[in-house]
Amino acid sequence: MLDLSTLNPPQRAAAEHTEGPLLVLAGAGSGKTRVITYRIGHLLLDKKVKAEDILAVTFTNKAAGEMKERVRELVGRGKAKGMVISTFHSLGVRILRRDIERLGYKKNFSIYTTSDQIGLIRQAMREVNADGKKFDAETLLWRISGWKNGLIPPDRAVPRYDDPDELLACDVYPRYQALLHACNAIDFDDIIMLTVRLLQDYPEVLDHWQERFRYIMVDEYQDTNASQYLFISLLARKYRNLCVVGDDDQSIYGWRGADVGNILDFERDYPGCRVVKLEQNYRSTGTILEAANQVIKNNAKRKEKRLWTDVGEGRPIDMVIAQDDEEEATLVVERLQMERYQHNLSFGDFAILYRTNSQSRAFEEQLRFEDIPYVLVGGMQFYERKEVKDALSYLKVIDNPLDEQALLRVVNFPRRGIGDGTVVKINQWSLEHECPLLEAMGRVEEIEGIPGATREKVLTFHRLITGAAGEFRRPGDLAARVKGFYDRIGLEEELYRTIEEPATARRKVENVEQIINSMAGYEERIPGATLSGFLEKVSLMDEDRFSGKDKKEHGKDAVTLMSLHSSKGLEFPFVFLVGFEEEILPHKKSVEEGMSIDEERRLCYVGITRARRHLTITRCLHRKKYGKLLERQPSRFLEEIPERLVQVHEGEVKKAATEEEQEAMAQDFFARMREKLS
């Protein structure tokens, strides 16, 4: 039997309800992951449900991995073996790998990342004679992504309004999808859209997966979009043992397609469902929670809940008013230092949260000036670096010869004398003869206008790829074979030769080395590991970046700077919530375009509830725009926080005329502060 006595009454009620639909409204810091893991444990140990019958779905690989490990710790690895805890996209890929041939794809399809998609969009733009200088490929891709998330195929996509980008996207979408199919590739939005299509069009496929997963749990349900909603609805339709966990008050991804209505309407969609509210917060002080409650209650469309805690009221919220954004940064860093000395804290106990990434500049400069370590969350991801994408593109072509985007990326890297003109001729010939690009390279002697010496270079490249494809068909020894392949093509030498700065070249070579290290680690974890499996793992890592929830950059020994969107799911002892002004929070776009302020208020709520011990809110009387100081108005959300919870501080540092005076003033301040604290 599983010991459920450590759960509070609502948590236990949620864990013990296993038959029929269940809605768990989990407020910030209320222990929702604990509830999910104990519910799975209860199913396995007490209800004797087979592990293979259980499915838990969340949004990031990190969250899925942590949840899986916690279940294993609770019930033992043997009992947990066979259960599926994954992301939406990983689950979709699992289903597609089994049956995608019904939709006209081969099972070894590639998953295109953003840069791959952009290249294909540009090719589609050329084919429909669109002006590449006038239209932005990323904008068109964003429009197409919106249609896919709404499960709208190319033949049903129509302009929602008279907009040139929208009109062009309608023309580009069908050609883009055809190019993807020709490369035996899908993009991230296709993973869910094609999975839903498979489940809807083939009843025997749907029945297989409904029987496979009789007990389904979904975390962060408030963040699901239309396609994810239908995906889960189809799987759960037969047995209705669906448990969704989420918080409508933390639904902040509407701009990405998330529909808060999915959680608000769950009781209508599943009549007779059980509703459990988790309102006891184990993270923050009473003052912080009261402020959050008072703000969020002003949203009309929400499930009523009120966070509470038994850890005590804590300190009042500090409200700091600065003259401008430069002084705001100075005051924040000074207060950060003071708190650190007073409470013997590490830099990692502090976070500076802002609405837009452009706000980070002043804080970065001030932290550097004070020689304070910090980490800026949201930098370029490892697998998006050029040298990494180049190296991986070779592996993609070896695994899937139809992946023409990857093929074009490496055909002349390292340089082998195959110029753009030659590639254009081969590509044109392949289109005219309706054969894949790699096959056309193998038949280059049939193509007119290519010199003999260049033909031989093309054939050599063709033999390199086809030979490697045969070599990698057998599993095992992947890392060693990849290392040998990179050595054979001279990848490291090319990086050192083409990059003048030795330190930069060395970093890039080390990044390529990390691919091999990652592959070796993958082989250790996965018996019979294959190249396809490794590439699938790499591609699925991108969904963390798309969701904005990849938190691995968060450091323990440095101040964390991040946007409010990126902060969801994290917590810090001390939080500085900066830029609390109209047109920043709420954002100018929401105000000017007449959009609902509700999501901006939810974003404010998320920011407040990131703080555990103390919260400081800052705003400016003036802020620079194009070098000019403009007057600022306080955020409307400030008026919603009761005055009794707030202690107001005016700016404490006067602006200095010169950098020397400013530095002397700062040094004097810290000298006095240290003397006072000692």
* Alpha-carbon span 638 to 633, nearest angstrom: 11
For residue 83, being part of any structural domain is answered with yes
pLDDT at 670 over 90: no
* pLDDT, greater one: 459 or 506: 459
Kindly state whether residues 271 and 137 are assigned to the same domain: no
pLDDT at 70 over 60: yes
Q: For 332-341, what is the mean pLDDT?
A: 95
Tell me the chain's radius of gyration from C-alpha atoms. Answer: 28
* Alpha-carbon span 242 to 595, nearest angstrom: 33
Kindly state whether residues 434 and 527 are assigned to the same domain: yes
Residue ending a domain, choose from 513, 546, 579: 546
* pLDDT score recorded for residue 522: 81
Band of pLDDT at residue 30, cut at 50, 70 and 90: very high
Kindly state whether residues 621 and 516 are assigned to the same domain: no
Tell me whether residue 29 is annotated as binding. Answer: yes
What average pLDDT does the structure give for the chain?
88
Interval 187-224: pLDDT, tens: 999 999 999 999 999 999 999 999 999 999 999 999 99
Interval 11-29: pLDDT, tens: 999 999 999 999 999 999 9
Q: For 63-78, what is the mean pLDDT?
A: 91
Tell me whether residue 421 is annotated as binding. Answer: no
Adjacent-strand bridge partners of 636: none
Q: Give me the number of domains the chain comprises.
A: 4
* pLDDT score recorded for residue 47: 94
Contact 1, 38 (CB under 8 A): no
Q: Which residues contact 590 (CB under 8 A, 6 or more apart)?
A: 596, 597, 599, 600
Tell me whether residue 31 is annotated as binding. Answer: yes
* Alpha-carbon span 285 to 614, nearest angstrom: 8
Domain range spanning residue 167? 110-183
Adjacent-strand bridge partners of 351: 560, 575
pLDDT at 674 over 80: no
pTM: 0.80
Kindly state whether residues 436 and 522 are assigned to the same domain: yes
Tell me whether residue 68 is annotated as binding. Answer: no
For residue 539, being part of any structural domain is answered with yes
Tokens of 537: 């793992």
Contact 422, 458 (CB under 8 A): yes
Residue ending a domain, choose from 278, 296, 321: 278
Tell me whether residue 33 is annotated as binding. Answer: yes
- Which residue type sits at 152? I
Q: For 156-165, what is the mean pLDDT?
A: 82
* pLDDT, greater one: 376 or 338: 338
* pLDDT score recorded for residue 667: 54
For residue 298, being part of any structural domain is answered with no
Contact 179, 402 (CB under 8 A): no
Distance of CA 441 to the CA centre of its chain: 37
Band of pLDDT at residue 385, cut at 50, 70 and 90: confident
pLDDT at 655 over 70: no
Q: For 275-302, what is the mean pLDDT?
A: 95
For residue 460, being part of any structural domain is answered with yes
For residue 102, being part of any structural domain is answered with no
Kindly state whether residues 252 and 352 are assigned to the same domain: no
pLDDT at 673 over 70: no
| Positions marked catalytic | 32-33, 219-220, 250, 610
pLDDT at 381 over 80: no
Kindly state whether residues 197 and 57 are assigned to the same domain: yes
For residue 675, being part of any structural domain is answered with no
Interval 229-264: pLDDT, tens: 999 999 999 999 999 999 999 999 887 788 999 999
Q: Which residues contact 369 (CB under 8 A, 6 or more apart)?
A: 663, 666
* pLDDT score recorded for residue 653: 43
For residue 676, being part of any structural domain is answered with no
* pLDDT, greater one: 473 or 643: 643
Residue closest to 525 by CA, chosen among 513, 515, 537, 514: 537
* pLDDT score recorded for residue 470: 86
* pLDDT, greater one: 426 or 476: 426
Kindly state whether residues 507 and 620 are assigned to the same domain: no
* Alpha-carbon span 340 to 373, nearest angstrom: 13
- In CATH, what number is assigned to the domain containing residue 169? 1.10.10.160
pLDDT at 588 over 90: no
Tell me whether residue 28 is annotated as binding. Answer: yes
Adjacent-strand bridge partners of 110: 185
Kindly state whether residues 424 and 483 are assigned to the same domain: yes
Band of pLDDT at residue 265, cut at 50, 70 and 90: very high
pLDDT at 503 over 80: no
Residue closest to 415 by CA, chosen among 457, 452, 449: 457
Tell me whether residue 32 is annotated as binding. Answer: yes
Adjacent-strand bridge partners of 276: 24
Kindly state whether residues 17 and 71 are assigned to the same domain: yes
* pLDDT score recorded for residue 666: 46
Kindly state whether residues 151 and 90 are assigned to the same domain: no
pLDDT at 541 over 90: no
Interval 300-311: pLDDT, tens: 899 999 999 999
Kindly state whether residues 330 and 422 are assigned to the same domain: no
For residue 465, being part of any structural domain is answered with yes
Q: Is 31 left (phi over 0), alpha (psi -120 to 50) or beta?
A: left
* Alpha-carbon span 403 to 201, nearest angstrom: 27
Q: For 437-458, what is the mean pLDDT?
A: 92
Residue ending a domain, choose from 278, 296, 329: 278
The residue whose two tokens read 């020397």 is: 660
Tell me whether residue 419 is annotated as binding. Answer: no
- In CATH, what number is assigned to the domain containing residue 640? 3.40.50.300
Kindly state whether residues 603 and 569 are assigned to the same domain: yes
- In CATH, what number is assigned to the domain containing residue 538? 1.10.486.10
Distance in Å from the first CA to the final CA of the chain: 55
